[in-house]
Structure 1
């Protein structure tokens, strides 16, 4: 069981990373097939053994630098305190998978109930195959057509991107309504952790946004820039409505946050989240994909603040550098262009998450080794770059920041 200490505390993107949540890719990756991979948000099918070696190397770097690594599957298992909680999780998964609507529901429920907690968590993550229930009577036409589609419950191959289902802001948490049907069930795990895990349910952490809120948000769009400012991308995966609601909840609470900076980015797969085109690497240094800056550096940026009547007031800005200097009280900042801004290297390396860096301390970042131009440029700016292998991890379209959910930063 995870040690009882401060459970959640993140007030910066660059503070020393004390504790982080990961998910080691598992059999859910091997349950990607050509007929479901696009719907499950993959462009290709990764080779799991190599993927796991690369992920283990990533985790090893974190541990070597003094970061405690916590695994999602372990937290979920530790949250299943008794048969009642276990049944509640099963029922929620079946409902969100639409498996409560057909005749096979009873057999599927019995099968999942029969699994011990460790196996249950693995099965919910990797998906339930129709052949897993061969010893149960088939009552539905679809049950008999395993060649048509082999799954009762789809796998969750995006789980290794632990950044997205929830995000720590201050000592509270946002639990997200995920944008796509392929990922909606992922945030269920955090709902159960916060409700039942011994180290989280007792601390009464505020929840700035809950997954029942009707508008989508994902953690890759949330950057905790300081104790006063949170930047959030208005993106393909995060809606303006969700940002405004979060701003109202966060800024209206009794804490230090004063501004939410909403940054509009192009709504296309290559850009996906704000952290695929913009990350903080030091107190006054940021990576950026130049393509988001628009013509003459003009962007849609909005500062959300509360007025004296607790209403959200919105002010528009157009220049990212100037807005960052204003919000963070910095005289100067450096925007480090992905791929050096080159017309070939920049889009190539952005596609492979050259801008998606994970800061583990001020001026110290973990990056993918394949983004050579960006990594060399970061080094020239005085950033310590720790490269990790990425031949298979990168096939999921996410980098080191995507693969990590900071729980505690100093």
Structure 2
């Protein structure tokens, strides 16, 4: 690995700029606590074989480290939280945040005990809900989907407001990290908190370029969340246009990135029934005469029309599942449209979505499995002009209803 200088704490100019640093969470003890009795409450449709899921996730981490070529390319969210917990005030703030965000859990009854835990004990409570006293809490297996915890736009970060009770502790985890981890000392003023009465999750936000972002109004992000996020971005960043996509309020398309992601700046993988076939669900949000208190929503017939309108570029849409409507639905369910771009033209998705990979191959991508990629390139990143679609074995990870983009929260990319 290279000994390059530290990267900027926050810098995301686009979805596909070369990755420098990303936050992930490898499934751990908390995932083993999902059972048939609590799976629905914890938002899981199935129970993962944890050991195999960890192996699959470890391959994803190795892929990032090899392609980025930095020792600090991949950060674990639990390591960041543990390091933040070294400070007494961070542990106190975390407990206070849980009490405020989750009054129905009655954490205040054990406030002194929780605040008396050391960093190891409080981290275990944060992830598993288990403590050496009879407090009632749930594990956080959805922590694996770090994308939803926040969204970096340029040099700013939007903190998520989880739409479900099961994910509320994760919002407190990220608030604690950004507020107390030394890594973010220089950018604390760039952390954007949304109003308490809206919901917003990071899987609904995609950064097209420094002027344009997409936000889905979805099962997990409310209209109020879209407008609040748009207002903050238009006022505090270089963003000039926010494209809102009104999605069906359904689990199969819970976030925008489950039906639309970027493979390179002008190539997108899309779920046709929502992105191409449905119409009149897209709006361009702009500030009127630069006044963010006065937002204008311009309707557009399709997302493609809105993108081409505000960017002046032409886009190629690759169909998740290919041309067969049944394959489209099957592969969208197993995250065929949820690709993660390591750099322009280098993407990773799940191996099982073969029709999607066939469509990428027809678009000029070389398709290779993750282990072959790692064996061939080792610690040397491939040339920047190679178009490669990497197939990650994700038979267990995909059962959690989230793909490689869902499992990654980039902090920094180059322009």
* TM-score greater than 0.5 by the shorter chain: yes
2:136 aligned counterpart, secondary structure:
strand
242-251 vs 223-232, which moves further: 242-251
1:399-410 correspondence runs (5 A): 399-410=403-414
Q: Which residue of 1 aligns with 2:154?
A: 170
The size of the alignment, in residue pairs, is: 384
Q: Which segments of structure 1 move beyond 6 Å, counting only runs of 4 or more?
A: none
CA distance in 2, matches of 1:245, 1:174: 10
Work out whether residues 252 and 333 of structure 2, in 8 Å CA contact, stay in contact via their aligned partners in 1. yes
CA distance in 2, matches of 1:97, 1:128: 16
Are 1:365 and 2:367 counterparts?
no
Work out whether residues 99 and 152 of structure 1, in 8 Å CA contact, stay in contact via their aligned partners in 2. no
Q: Which runs of 5+ in 2 are unaligned?
A: 366-387
CA distance in 1, matches of 2:99, 2:36: 24
Deviation at 1:6, TM superposition (A): 1.1
Work out whether residues 25 and 48 of structure 1, in 8 Å CA contact, stay in contact via their aligned partners in 2. yes
1:281 aligned counterpart, secondary structure:
strand
Deviation at 1:94, TM superposition (A): 4.5
Work out whether residues 212 and 310 of structure 2, in 8 Å CA contact, stay in contact via their aligned partners in 1. yes
1:182 aligned counterpart, secondary structure:
helix
Deviation at 1:375, TM superposition (A): 1.2
Q: What do residues 165-196 of structure 1 show as CA deviations (whole Å, max 9, x unaligned)?
A: 11101100100111111101101112112211
More helix by proportion, 1 or 2? 2
Deviation at 1:201, TM superposition (A): 2.5
CA distance in 1, matches of 2:90, 2:249: 38
Q: Which residue of 1 aligns with 2:204?
A: 221
1:50-65 correspondence runs (5 A): 50-65=52-67
Work out whether residues 290 and 341 of structure 1, in 8 Å CA contact, stay in contact via their aligned partners in 2. no
CA distance in 1, matches of 2:165, 2:179: 23
Are 1:342 and 2:324 counterparts?
yes
2:170 to 186, 192, 217: 186
CA distance in 2, matches of 1:98, 1:167: 26
* TM-score, structure 2 normalization: 0.87
Work out whether residues 97 and 153 of structure 1, in 8 Å CA contact, stay in contact via their aligned partners in 2. no
CA distance in 1, matches of 2:408, 2:200: 17
CA distance in 2, matches of 1:250, 1:94: 29
Work out whether residues 26 and 126 of structure 1, in 8 Å CA contact, stay in contact via their aligned partners in 2. no
For the pair shown, the structure with the greater C-alpha radius of gyration is 1
1:117 to 116, 119, 124: 119
182-191 vs 221-230, which moves further: 182-191
1:298 aligned counterpart, secondary structure:
coil
1:220-299 correspondence runs (5 A): 220-253=203-236, 255-293=237-275, 297-299=278-280
Q: Which residue of 1 aligns with 2:399?
A: 395
Q: What do residues 220-252 of structure 1 show as CA deviations (whole Å, max 9, x unaligned)?
A: 000001110000011111111111111111112
Q: Which residue of 2 aligns with 1:305?
A: 286
CA distance in 1, matches of 2:276, 2:347: 27
Q: 1:119 to 1:379 in 2, by over 3 A?
A: farther
